Amino acid sequence: MRKNDPVKMKDPAQTIKVTYREALKQGLHDALTQDERVFLVGEDVGRYGGSFAVSKGFLAEFGEERIMDVPLSESGFVGAGIGAAMGGMHPIVEIMTVNFSLLALDQIVNNAATLRHMSGGQITIPLVIRMSCGVGRQLAAQHSHSWESIYAAIPGLIVLSAGTHEDARGMLLSAIKNPNPVILFEYTILLNSEAEISINAGAVNITKAMNRKTGKDISIITYGAAVNKCITAAQELFLSGIDAEVIDLRILRPIDDATIMESVTKTHRALIVEEGWQSINIGSEISARIMENVFYELDAPVKRLGGIEVPIPYPKHLEDASVPQVADIIAAVKSIMGHD
Q: List, by residue number, the catalytic residues.
A: 74, 143
- The neighbour count for residue 19, using CB atoms within 10 Å, is 16
Amino acid at 275: E
Q: Are 218 and 267 in contact (CB under 8 A)?
A: yes
Whole-angstrom distance, CA of residue 205 vs CA of residue 189: 24
Q: Are 98 and 185 in contact (CB under 8 A)?
A: yes
Q: Which of 114, 44, 41, 37 is nearest to 76 (CA)?
A: 41
CA distances from 16 to 25, 113, 243, 268, 286 (A): 15, 37, 29, 37, 34
Q: Which of 68, 45, 44, 65 is nearest to 55 (CA)?
A: 45
Helices 20-34 and 165-175, axial angle in degrees (round to 10): 20
